[in-house]
Amino acid sequence: MIFITIPALTLLVSAYPALLSSEAVTLIEQASLALLVGALVLSYLVIYRVGERQSPFVRLRKRFVVGVPWGTVLAVACVYVVYHVVQGAGNPGGPNVIGFRSWSLWYPESIVFAWLSHASSSHLTGNVLATLVFGSIAEYAWSHYPTVTGQHSFSSLRTNPFARIAMFIVGLSLVGIAGSLFVPGAIIGFSGVVFALAGFAIVTRPLVTVGGILGLDGLDLVYSGFQSPVGFAEARPEFTFPYWADTALQGHLFGLVLGVLLAVWVVRRRSRSPNVGHVWFAALVFAVTRSMWTIFWFLSDTEFVLFRGLGAASVAVLASVIAVASLSDGRPLLQDRIEIQARTVGVVILVGIAVLVALAGVPYNLADVSPGEEASDGIEIDGYTVTYAENVEDQYTALDLPVVGDALSVETSGVIVTSDERNVWSLETPRDELALNGFSVVVVGDTTWREVVLVNHTQWQLAGGNTTYKVYGQHWGEMDDQRLLFSAPLGEGQPTINGQRFGIVPSKRFYDIAVLDANGTRKQVRVPAHNESVELGGVTFTRTDNTLVARHNRTELLFAEYRTEREQ
pLDDT tens, the chain, 568 aa long: 555 555 555 555 555 455 566 777 788 888 888 888 888 888 888 877 776 666 677 778 888 888 899 999 999 999 999 999 999 999 999 999 999 999 888 889 999 999 999 999 999 999 999 999 999 999 999 998 876 544 556 667 777 889 999 999 999 999 999 999 999 888 999 999 999 999 999 999 999 999 999 999 888 888 888 888 887 777 777 777 777 777 888 999 999 999 999 999 999 888 888 999 999 999 999 999 999 998 887 777 677 888 889 999 999 999 999 999 998 876 776 666 666 788 888 999 999 999 999 988 888 788 778 777 777 788 999 989 999 999 888 877 666 555 444 556 678 899 999 998 888 988 999 998 999 899 999 999 999 999 999 999 999 999 887 899 999 999 887 766 788 999 999 898 888 888 888 999 998 889 999 998 877 777 889 999 988 999 998 999 999 989 999 999 888 999 999 988 654 4
Pairing between strand 511-517 and 296-298?
A: unpaired
pTM of the shown model: 0.87
284 and 225 within one domain: yes
| Residue 402 within a domain | no
| Other C-beta atoms lying within 10 Å of the C-beta of residue 355 | 12
Which of 341, 366, 391 finishes a domain?
A: 366
| Residue 318 within a domain | yes
| Residue 348 within a domain | yes
| Residue 408 within a domain | no
Quote the longest CA-to-CA distance of the chain: 102
SS3 at position 357: helix
| Residue 506 within a domain | no
The DSSP line for 283-325 is HHHHHHHTTTT--EEESSSS-EEE-HHHHHHHHHHHHHHHHHH
99 and 25 within one domain: no
What is the C-alpha separation between 124 and 127, in angstroms, rounded?
5
Which of 366, 401, 433 finishes a domain?
A: 366
| Residue 512 within a domain | no
296 and 248 within one domain: yes
129 and 2 within one domain: no
What is the C-alpha separation between 507 and 459, in angstroms, rounded?
13
141 and 5 within one domain: no
Residue 504 phi, psi (nearest 5): -125, 135
Tell me the one-letter amino acid at 414.
G
| Residue 434 within a domain | no
Q: Please, are residues 372 and 390 in contact by the beta-carbon 8 Å criterion?
A: no
345 and 208 within one domain: yes
Expressed as residue numbers, the domain containing 3 is 1-53
| Residue 454 within a domain | no
124 and 249 within one domain: yes
149 secondary structure, DSSP code: T
87 and 35 within one domain: no
Among residues 72, 186, 169, the alpha carbon closest in space to that of 130 is found at 72
86 and 36 within one domain: no
> 187-209: b or e for each residue (b if 16 or more CB lie within 10 Å)?
bbbbbbbbbbbbbbbbbbbbebb
What is the C-alpha separation between 9 and 27, in angstroms, rounded?
13
108's CB contacts (< 8 A; 6+ apart) are: none
Which of 337, 366, 395 finishes a domain?
A: 366
What is the C-alpha separation between 431 and 300, in angstroms, rounded?
12
126 and 19 within one domain: no
179 and 90 within one domain: yes
70 and 27 within one domain: no
State the total domains in the chain.
Answer: 2
Helix axis angle for 206-227 and 276-289, nearest 10°, is 30
